[in-house]
Chains A and B, each alone.
Chain A
Amino acid sequence: MEFGWSEEEKAYRSRVRGILEDNLPANWDEIAVHGPGSELQTDFSRDFCKLLAAEGLLIPHWPSTHGGADGQPWDHFILGEEIWAAGEPRGPQYMNVNWIGPVLMRYATPEQQQKYLPPIVAGDVIWCQGFSEPSSGSDLASLRTKAERVDGGYIVNGAKVWTSYARLADYCFLLTRTSAGKSGIAILLVDMKNSPGIQVKQIPALIGEGDIHEVFFTDVFVPEENRLGAEGQAWEIISYALQNERIGIPRYEFARRTLDRAVAMLKAEGRFDDPILQDRAGRVLAKCEAARMMVYKVVDERAKSAPASAFGNLARFTVLQADHAVSDFMLEYMPAGMLGDDPMQQAHHQRAIAAGIASGAAEIQLNLAARRFLDLPSENTRGL
């Protein structure tokens, strides 16, 4: 048992930092403040991800057979920590490299892999995930968007909601219903630019410009060769995808660096001698570091190729506690930041308030942890 970084890992982190420092423009904060889903940041990501790809830093954790470098999970997290904490210059493409690519590698046909993976490897494609629906949020299995079998494929009708990046996306990882029950779900890889019948409507929201959308599908034809896996296999694929997504974003690192920045500002203003501020900041700091250690435990399991456990759900819960704690600290002691003084504070706040909702609501994480990690009985259990 030991908790240090190897010399190679330190050098890797230093290299990533160097590349970020050398290549993020002077006005990067003005771009990053709008969030990964904004048009500005998405545009920026197309050039920046090409640069990362050229440096071997876009998909180093992927297997070499798919263009990666067979990198270790720890390197992937070091990369993620540095890039997310810098404001995520990969824009929406972080999702491609974190889970869409790995899911395609595991479940797509060779033809599908040939079609979809190279643009991800090149850093030049935007995906969105069509999961939630107006009547199907946390209860994902109740989704209704219908995929009706027709000659050569499916006709899709329905609506998705809260879909990040939809307005700019090239493809959608779409969950559809072909029949009743969990076995009646199919995943379709939909061409968002060339499929008549798709309408995307931006939803104004607290979490940033262009981040979430409604997507309407009206008689959209999707060829059968665009189905991922078998019709009855979708739930297995989704579960695998969510395992990768839940702790894929190193939110604790951004939270910690935002807290460091807040303390530096308080010190510069001569306010940090206040024992109340020191007390509160110390407690928030402890939450950030708790979240870090919980996520690192999950990474350690991955590095040892252990089967995924519900510990990841527990870790995710500590991450949202840290994100909220940092945001709440600044709201209480630095309210001017939300009133125009500090756009980066608002940017952190906008990400933090989504932390307990995106990638499975906090309550879903707790449900899964209770059932699968603590082995507590199901709500349907009857006994005495």
Chain B
Amino acid sequence: MDFEPNDNQTAILDGLEQLITSLRIETPKEGETQVFSEALDAELATSGYLDIAREEDFTVLDAALVVERIARLPVTAEVTNSMIVAPLFPAGEVDRPLALVQGSPLAPARFLPHAKSLLVDRGDDLLLVKVDPARVEPVESLFAYPYGKLDSVDGLETRSLGAAMLAPLRRRWRLGMAVEAAGLMQSALETVLEHVKSRHQFGRPLGSFQAVQHRLAMASATAHAVRWLAFRAAWSDAEEDCAIAATYVQDSIVTFCYDLHQFCGAMGLTLEFPLHFWTYRLKAMLGELGGGSKQARAASTLTWSAAA
């Protein structure tokens, strides 16, 4: 067991850091709730990072490290689905950017305004829809992802990928959610820690009050637990581990986000303060794949299916 990146992983992360630095990514301006960085998305695609999990010398965990790092940025790119979910399918079968949705293909989906493909978990079948951007209606929301929905699937190329692919899809969907949440929680927490150290009330920094300290320490425990559950799941790529990690994430989001916003007061409710770029991606995840109860039940049945 080793919790430190190996040489390969260190090289990946160092290169990624250089790429991020070269793009000079800045915190989006006041007034925006979601920022999709075309430049980041394109650079990650052309530099080969998004295909890491398909490469012989690399692993799903290596891809997860990239996803976690990108999630810490205040801007988004379609990374998680491309790096974690798409490699389940032969190269060229599912074009990126990729959006995922459960139930109806007409439901709002993250990244759909930029997507070339939509995978639909229909419950008894996995449907691939080739997305025509002209058929996507953007959906405005507080969630810090670009959302969109199809006007209909009439006239769009659709194909069944088979019910057998549903379990792998859900496994990687849960994994992607957990890994991304690890990065989101880290940045959200750092933003609030900086605030409570510099903001003074009653002649003291907010962060010196024990009522604040305890809940931030608990938030930190949550963020770290998410991180290590997610990376373990990426390492094993086992259904059980992925479901456990996603359960923990969805079970934690409400308290985590509530506390972090609470300690920023009204400032935390403004679009000027960047916290929402991470917390409103976490909140968007709360309802993914049917919500926490679905993941918890999946974790239960996967873990104890063979038990007496």
Residue from B216, B232, B236, B300 having most chain A Cβ neighbours under 10 A: B300
Q: Is B204 part of the binding interface, using a Cβ–Cβ cutoff of 8 Å?
A: yes
Q: Does A44 contact B (CB under 8 A)?
A: no
Distance, CA A374 to CA B307, complexed state (A) = 41
Within 8 A of B (CB), among A363-381: 363, 365-367, 369-371, 373-381
The residue in chain A whose Cβ has the minimal distance to the Cβ of B203 is: A382
Known: A282-B299, A300-B1. 9 other contacts (CB 8 A): A1-B231, A2-B1, A282-B247, A290-B226, A296-B228, A311-B224, A369-B217, A382-B203, A384-B200
Contacts of B196 in A (CB 8 A): 376
Per-residue interface assignment for chain B, residues 199 to 228, with 1 indicating a CB less than 8 Å from any chain A CB and 0 otherwise: 010011101111011101110110011101
Q: Does A353 contact B (CB under 8 A)?
A: no
B27 is an interface residue with CB less than 8 A from chain A: no
**B124 at the A/B interface (Cβ < 8 Å)?**
no
In contact, B307 and A376 (Cβ under 8 angstroms)? no
Is residue A285 contacting chain B, with contact meaning CB distance below 8 A? yes
Given A290-B225, A296-B3, residue A1 in contact with residue B61 (CB < 8 A): yes
List of B residues within 8 angstroms of A152 by Cβ: none
CB<8 Å pairs between A and B, sample of 20:
A1-B231, A275-B297, A279-B300, A282-B295, A286-B229, A286-B251, A296-B3, A297-B224, A300-B1, A315-B221, A318-B221, A366-B218, A369-B221, A373-B220, A374-B216, A374-B220, A376-B216, A377-B208, A383-B200, A383-B205
Interface presence of A267 (CB below 8 A): yes
- Chain B residue contacts of A267, Cβ below 8 A: 304, 307-308
Determine if A317 and B3 form an interchain contact, defined as CB atoms under 8 angstroms apart. Answer: no
Q: Which of A74, A300, A314 contacts B224 (CB 8 A)?
A: A314
Q: Which residue of A lies closest to B6 (CB)?
A: A1
- Is A293's CB under 8 angstroms from B229's CB? yes
Contact of A285 among B217, B225, B299 (CB under 8 A): B299
User: Could you tell me the distance between the alpha carbons of A294 and B224 in the complex, rounded to whole angstroms?
Assistant: 7
Tell which of B2, B193, B251, B300 touches A278, judged by Cβ atoms closer than 8 Å: B300
Q: Which residues of B contact A296 (CB under 8 A)?
A: 1, 3, 228
The 10 closest A-B pairs by CB, nearest first: A282-B296, A370-B213, A293-B228, A290-B225, A282-B299, A286-B248, A282-B300, A278-B300, A369-B217, A376-B207
- A314, B220: Cβ atoms closer than 8 Å: yes
Contacts of B245 in A (CB 8 A): 286
In the complex, residue of chain A having the shortest beta-carbon distance to the beta carbon of B243: A282
B273 within 8 A of partner (CB): no
* Assembly CA distance A287 to B296 (angstroms): 11
Q: Give bound CA distance, A261 to B67, whole Å.
A: 36
Within 8 Å by CB of A373, from B217, B225, B292, lies: B217
A380 to B207, CA, bound (A): 11
Query: Given the complex of chains A and B, what is the CA–CA distance between A48 and B129 in angstroms?
Result: 65
The answer to whether B307 and A260 touch across the interface, beta carbons within 8 angstroms, is yes
Within A287-315, the residues touching B (CB, 8 Å) are 287, 289-291, 293-294, 296-297, 299-301, 304, 311, 313-315
* A263-B307, A290-B248, A377-B207 known; A279 vs B235 contact (CB < 8 Å): no
Task: List which A145-183 residues lie within 8 A (CB) of chain B.
Answer: none
Least CB distance from B178 to A in Å reads 10
Is A4's CB within 8 Å of the partner chain B? yes
A370, B214: Cβ atoms closer than 8 Å: yes
Q: Type the 1/0 row for B58-73, where 1 means its CB is closer than 8 Å to any CB of A.
A: 0001000100000000
B297 CB contacts on chain A under 8 angstroms: 275, 278-279, 282
Q: With CB as the reference atom, state the residue of chain B lying closest to A362.
A: B214
Whether the pair A1, B5 counts as a contact (CB closer than 8 A) is: yes
Residue with the highest number of chain B CB atoms closer than 10 Å, among A272, A281, A380: A281
Asked if B270 lies at the interface with its beta carbon under 8 angstroms from chain A, I say no
Tell me if A69 counts as interface (CB < 8 A to partner B): no
Q: Which of A264, A317, A370 is B307 in contact with, Cβ under 8 Å?
A: A264
Task: Give Cα A290–Cα B304 distance, bound, in whole angstroms.
Answer: 18
Instruction: Collect the chain B residues with CB atoms within 8 Å of residue A263's CB.
Output: 300, 304, 307
Residue ID in chain B nearest A313 by CB atoms: B217
B208 contacts A379, CB within 8 Å?
Answer: yes
State A286–B200 Cα separation when bound (angstroms): 37
Q: What is the 8 Å Cβ interface bit string for chain A, positions 1-33, against chain B (1 contact, 0 not)?
A: 111110000000000000000000000000000
Q: Does B122 contact A (CB under 8 A)?
A: no
A291 partner residues in chain B, CB cutoff 8 A: 225
By beta carbon, the residue of chain B nearest A304 is B4
Q: Which of B213, B235, B296 contacts A366 (CB 8 A)?
A: B213
Q: A268 at the A/B interface (Cβ < 8 Å)?
A: yes
Please, how many angstroms separate the alpha-carbon atoms of A378 and B301 in the complex?
Answer: 46
Query: B10 — nearest CB in chain A belongs to which residue?
Result: A1
Complex CA–CA separation, A280 to B251 (angstroms)? 11
Is B197's CB within 8 Å of the partner chain A? Answer: yes
- Report chain B residues within 8 Å CB of A311: 224
Please indicate the chain B residues that have their CB under 8 angstroms from the CB of A271 in the complex.
Answer: none
Question: Does B175 sit within 8 A of A, measured CB to CB?
Answer: no
Q: Which B residue's beta carbon lies closest to that of A261?
A: B307
Inside 8 A of B216's CB, which chain A residues have their CB? 370, 374, 376
Q: Cα distance A365–B218 when bound, in Å?
A: 10
Any B CB within 8 A of the CB of A193: no
Q: What's the nearest-Cβ distance from chain B to residue A354, in Å?
A: 20
> In this assembly, does B303 line the interface, its C-beta being within 8 Å of a C-beta of chain A?
yes
